[in-house]
């Protein structure tokens, strides 16, 4: 490392599972940039102090992951429209003594869905989002940006789905409906796209208990969980011949504006990058 080496990283607690270092370091090498991208483990109670210290140490910025996305929103001096809508920030850029907070999750998912299914796949159609946490919030914004006519938010705890729908309705064009998992058959009726934005199906978590029988066969299924890459949900969807989209696409696309902000180069999402990340996951 030299004085002009560009510094960036990802902060979370824990952070050892993060694929972001493999992703950004792939692009750094590909573009021959004198830069590093580090995983930084920060406890929740140390968040503000750590962010200030990273800025003072000359970091260009950091990605932010669980559990800091809301704290990152609160600490930002400026926020983009996506961050305001999401109420959470996954990218902090340190510029001219100020902290810029952005949220690239929704656009990352939209770019992944567009790449896999085509730009007009969801236009005027019905999408279903499973979950009501931060990722589900990004998924609703994403499906709205793809032109969905209606989005059904289905969550294990129905009250949280209702709260999410009422918090987002004024910010989106699509008509939002909230349902519990018990109403799944009704929610799946006529769906063109199902997005799992729950944490069910993640490595060391139980799989999502949801029969796909009610889902129209021309519906696509996206799981934003990427570890494992092929979740039980995607395996069952493929067995029914649904088109499927895994969570790695979202991860790669949400990182593009971050890399641009840190290092000043717009990177590309390619098959080589995917292969490198699949290797890192394995
Ligand atoms: P979160 O805020 O903790 O929300 C978790 C959601 O999952 C809640 O709605 C919860 O329902 C639901 N849930 C958990 N276990 C369940 C089960 N067994 N059955 C049914 N529902 C269950 O988490 P988050 O931040 O939104 O993240 C969710 C997932 O998205 C994580 O796996 C994360 O890694 C992934 N993610 C991926 C990307 C990417 O780039 N691919 C980006 C961001 C997040 P209740 O409300 O009933 O508890």
Least confident range from 2-6, 21-25, 51-55: namely: 2-6
Ligand 1 atom at minimal distance to the Cα of residue 105: 42
Closest CA to 117 of 102, 131, 127: 127
136 CA from centroid of ligand 1 (Å):
7
CA Rg value for the chain: 19
Give residue 2's pLDDT.
Answer: 73
167 CA from centroid of ligand 1 (Å):
18
Give residue 204's pLDDT.
Answer: 86
- CB within 8 A of 279, min separation 6: which ones? none
17 or 155: which leads in pLDDT: 155
Q: How confident is the model over 152-182, as pLDDT tens digits?
A: 999 999 999 999 999 999 999 999 999 999 9
Q: Are the C-beta atoms of 13 and 42 separated by less than 8 Å?
A: yes
Sheet with 6-12, strands from edge to edge, namely 35-41, 6-12, 59-64, 91-95, 98-102, 78-79
Query: Does residue 3 have a pLDDT over 80?
Result: no
175 noted as active-site residue: no
Q: How confident is the model over 200-228, as pLDDT tens digits?
A: 999 888 999 999 999 999 999 999 999 99
246 CA from centroid of ligand 1 (Å):
15
Instruction: Report the C-alpha gap between 111 and 28 in whole angstroms.
Output: 22
Q: Beta-carbon neighbour count of residue 63 at 10 Å?
A: 30
Q: How confident is the model over 244-264, as pLDDT tens digits?
A: 999 999 999 999 999 999 999
Q: Count of alpha carbons within 13 Å of 272, Cβ hemisphere only?
A: 6
User: Is the CB of 250 within 6 Å of ligand 1?
Assistant: yes
- CB within 8 A of 217, min separation 6: which ones? 240, 241, 242
Instruction: Report the C-alpha gap between 167 and 187 in whole angstroms.
Output: 20
Look up tokens 């210290």; give the residue: 53
Q: How confident is the model over 100-153, as pLDDT tens digits?
A: 999 999 999 999 999 999 999 999 999 999 999 999 999 999 999 999 999 999
Q: Are the C-beta atoms of 278 and 110 separated by less than 8 Å?
A: no
Q: Are the C-beta atoms of 103 and 138 separated by less than 8 Å?
A: yes
Give residue 141's pLDDT.
Answer: 97
User: Is the CB of 135 within 6 Å of ligand 1?
Assistant: yes
Give residue 4's pLDDT.
Answer: 87
User: Is the CB of 228 within 6 Å of ligand 1?
Assistant: no
Q: How confident is the model over 61-80, as pLDDT tens digits?
A: 999 999 999 999 999 999 99
Which residue has the least CA distance to atom 12 on ligand 1?
Answer: 198
3 or 127: which leads in pLDDT: 127
User: Is the CB of 160 within 6 Å of ligand 1?
Assistant: yes
262 CA from centroid of ligand 1 (Å):
28
């Amino acid at each position: 490392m030299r004085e002009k080496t560009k510094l960036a990283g990802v902060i979370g607690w824990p952070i050892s599972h993060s694929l972001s270092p493999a992703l950004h370091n792939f692009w750094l090498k590909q573009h021959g940039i004198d830069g590093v991208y580090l995983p930084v483990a920060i406890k929740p109670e140390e968040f503000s102090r750590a962010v200030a210290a990273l800025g003072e140490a000359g970091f260009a910025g950091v990605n932010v992951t669980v559990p800091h996305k809301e704290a990152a929103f609160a600490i930002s001096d400026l926020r983009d429209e996506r961050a305001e809508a999401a109420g959470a920030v996954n990218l902090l850029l340190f510029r001219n003594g100020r902290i810029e907070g952005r949220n690239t999750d929704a656009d990352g998912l939209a770019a992944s869905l567009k790449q896999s299914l085509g730009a007009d796949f969801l236009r005027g159609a019905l999408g279903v989002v499973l979950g009501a946490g931060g990722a589900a919030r990004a998924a609703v914004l994403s499906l709205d940006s793809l032109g969905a006519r209606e989005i059904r938010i289905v969550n294990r705890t129905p009250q949280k789905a209702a709260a999410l729908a009422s918090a987002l309705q004024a910010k989106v064009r699509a008509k939002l409906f909230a349902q519990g998992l018990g109403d799944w058959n009704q929610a799946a009726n006529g769906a063109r796209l199902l997005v799992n934005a729950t944490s069910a199906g993640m490595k060391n978590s139980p799989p999502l208990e949801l029969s796909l029988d009610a889902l129209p066969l021309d519906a696509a299924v996206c799981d934003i969980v990427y570890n494992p890459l092929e979740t039980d949900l995607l395996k069952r969807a493929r067995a029914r011949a649904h088109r499927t989209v895994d969570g790695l696409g979202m991860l790669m696309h949400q990182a593009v504006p971050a890399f641009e902000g840190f290092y000043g180069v717009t990177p590309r999402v390619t098959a080589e990058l995917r292969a490198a990340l699949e290797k890192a996951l394995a």
